Chain A
C-alpha cells in the first residue's frame, strides 16, 4: 500500500511581483517504509511540497492522502506524522529530555511510558548523557539528534525532514546521512526527505522526485536518474561533475558536434538536439574517437578532471590518476555507444532504439 499519495497538488503565492506557482499539480506516491527524497534547486518548491504533506500549508488544489486516508483538510496534528525542521526548532528553554518528550506530554502519555520511550530513543541516538542540557549547550550535530529524537519518539509512521543536515559540516553530514538511513530502515518509517544536495539524495534515497519550478522533472530510483535521465535538466542536475551536453548540428552525412566538420556521430535527425556523455564514461584515446583540445587539468588525487573543447562545445573528462596532459595539447576522446544519451530539441530524452547509432567510431 502507498503510504503517501499526492494528486495534482498545487500551491501558489501572490507576491508583490506577481503569482508564484510554488507547487504546480504534483502527483506522486511513496511506498510504505521507503526513503523518498524531494530534490531540486533552491526555490523549486521542495519545502512547500513537504509543508503541504505536513498540513502546515493548505493546498490550493489537489489531494494528499497518508496511509490510505485523505488528509487534505486535516490539521497537522491529525495526520500522524513527525517532522524535523532545517532550523531544528528546538525549544530553547527546555532541556534535551523535555524537548524530546514534548509531544508525548501533550498527548498525555503515562509517565512510565514516557520514561521508557525516552530512555530508548536517547540510547538509540547517543543522547543519554545530555538529557539535562539546554539546546544552547549542544553542538550542531547534537542538536540535530535531539530534533531527530523528538520526531522518532512519537512513533509516527511518516517522518518529514526539510534539509535536516544543511547546517552541519561536511564530515558530520556524511555520518548523519548513514545514521538517518539506518534509523529509517530499522524503524520501518516512511520518510520524505528534502534536500538540494544531489549527492545526499543519491546516497540515501529509495526514490528521488526531482523538482524544478514547482513541477516534477523525473520521479525514479537514483540509478535510473543517473543512467536514464528523462531530460537535459535531470542530466545536468545529477552527477559531479554533471553530464556533458554537446549541441548537435547537421553536417555532411549526419549530425556532428557544433563547430566541427565531423566525425558524424548520429543520424541527421538528431541535429538541433543534444548529445550527452558523462565525464566518467569518456576515455582519452590516441587512435580513435573525436579530436579535442585540452584546456586545463584539475588534479584531484584519485583522478583528474580534464577540461577539453570539441568545436564550440566544452567537455569535461574524468581520468584515473594523473592524466599527463597539458593545456593546449591535442587529443582524442572516445566513449562506448551505451554511454551516449540523446536529447531532442525540447531537451527530452530520445530512446536509444530511436537512434541508429554509428558505432564505427568506438571500439
Chain B
C-alpha cells in the first residue's frame, strides 16, 4: 500500500465516528454559540443578530444570579462531602469486614437505581406529616417541617440526596484503587511502627490522588449538570431556592421557549465547566502523579 492509500484508509476508518461527533457535539455547540448572539425567532419574525444583547439581559437577570449562587453552594457542599464519604466507605469495605460483599452492593445501589426512582424514594422521606423523616423526628417530639417546601431547607435536602447518590458511585473507583495497592505496603509500615492513621495519611491518601483527581473532575461536572432530581422533587422552587443553572436553562428554553437566551446561558455554563476542567487538570495534574 502506498502512503497516500494508507492515509486515505485511516481517514475513511475515522469518518463514521467523526461524522457523528461533528453532527451531535460540535455542530450543536457552534450553533448554540451563534444563537446566543441572535434574537429568538417568534412567529413570522425570524432571528436577527443582536450582538451581546442576550448577555446583557443575563447580567441583569436576578434569577440567573440566584441559580449561579445556588449552584456554587451546591457544588461547594456536595463535592467534598461525597468524596469524603466515598473514601470512608471504600476504606471500610476494603478491610476485613464481615459481609463486605453485601456492603459493597448496598453502597453501590444508589448508583444503579434510576434517578427518577431515587427522587421518588426521597420525596417519600421528605413528605410533610407522614414522611419517614417526619415520623422519626416526630417520635422525638420535633415539630413538623416541610423540608422540600421551605426556602431554607429545600436546597440542603437536595444536597443530601446528591451526596447519597454520588458517594456510592465514587466508592467504586476508590475501592478499585485500594484493591490494586499491595498489602505489603501496609505490612512494611506496620513493622516500622506506623499507626493506621499515619499510614492512611502518608501513604494511602497520596497514592489515591490520581483517583481523587478523576473523581473530583466527575463530581464538579455532575454538580453543574444536576437537573433530574430538581425536576422531580422541587421544580426549582420554592421561589427559585433550588434553581440550579441547568434547570434554569431548561426552564428558559422549554417552558418559556426563549431559545436565544437559553443559548446564552448554556454558553456561560460551558465556559464555567471548561475553566474548571482546565484548572483541575492543569494545576492538579502536576501535583498528583507520583510516577
Contact = CB atoms under 8 A, between A and B. Distances in A.
Interface in B174-228: 182, 184-185, 187-194, 198, 203, 206-207
A107 interface: yes
B290 A54 contact: no
Contacts of B45: none
B255 interface: no
Interface residues of A, number: 22
Interface in A65-123: 75-77, 81-83, 85, 87, 89, 91-93, 102-103, 106-107
Given A56-B187, A87-B184, A106-B198, A92 B193 contact: no
A77 B195 CA distance: 10
Contact of A87 (B182, B191, B203): B182
A89 B190 contact: no
Interface in A137-157: 150, 154
Contacts of B291: 92, 134, 136
A300 B187 CA distance: 44
A289 to B, nearest CB: 54
A263 to B, nearest CB: 57
A349 B187 CA distance: 41
Nearest to A88: B184
A82 B206 contact: no
Contact of A82 (B184, B185, B187, B191): B191
Contact of B185 (A75, A81, A91, A106): A91
Given A89-B182, A93-B206, A107 B193 contact: yes
Contacts of A82: 191
Contacts of B185: 89, 91
A166 to B, nearest CB: 14
A83 B290 contact: no
A83 B194 CA distance: 14
Contacts of A106: 189, 192-194, 198
A77 B193 contact: yes
A100 to B, nearest CB: 11
A103 B193 CA distance: 7
B284 to A, nearest CB: 15
Nearest to B193: A77
Contacts of A85: 184, 187-188
A296 to B, nearest CB: 44
B290 A92 contact: yes
Contacts of A103: 191-194
Contacts of B192: 77, 102-103, 106-107, 150, 154
Given A89-B182, A89-B185, A93-B206, A134 B290 contact: yes
A81 B182 contact: no
A107 B193 CA distance: 7
Contacts of B190: 56, 75-77
B179 to A, nearest CB: 16
Nearest to B182: A87
A76 B290 contact: no
A56 B186 CA distance: 10
A145 B188 CA distance: 15
A131 to B, nearest CB: 17
A351 B188 CA distance: 46
B206 A83 contact: no
Contacts of A150: 188, 192
Nearest to A91: B203
Nearest to B192: A103
Nearest to B209: A93
Interface in A232-248: none
A136 B185 CA distance: 15
Contacts of B184: 85, 87, 89
Given A87-B184, A89-B184, 15 more contacts: A75-B190, A76-B187, A77-B192, A77-B193, A77-B194, A82-B191, A85-B187, A85-B188, A89-B188, A91-B203, A92-B290, A93-B206, A106-B189, A106-B192, A107-B193
25 contacts: A56-B187, A56-B191, A75-B190, A77-B190, A77-B191, A77-B192, A77-B193, A81-B191, A82-B191, A83-B188, A87-B182, A89-B184, A91-B203, A92-B291, A93-B207, A102-B189, A102-B192, A103-B191, A103-B192, A106-B189, A106-B193, A107-B192, A107-B193, A134-B291, A150-B188
Interface of B: 182, 184-185, 187-194, 198, 203, 206-207, 290-291
Interface of A: 54, 56, 75-77, 81-83, 85, 87, 89, 91-93, 102-103, 106-107, 134, 136, 150, 154
| Nearest 8 Cβ contacts at the A-B interface | A103-B192, A93-B290, A77-B193, A89-B184, A89-B188, A93-B206, A76-B191, A106-B194
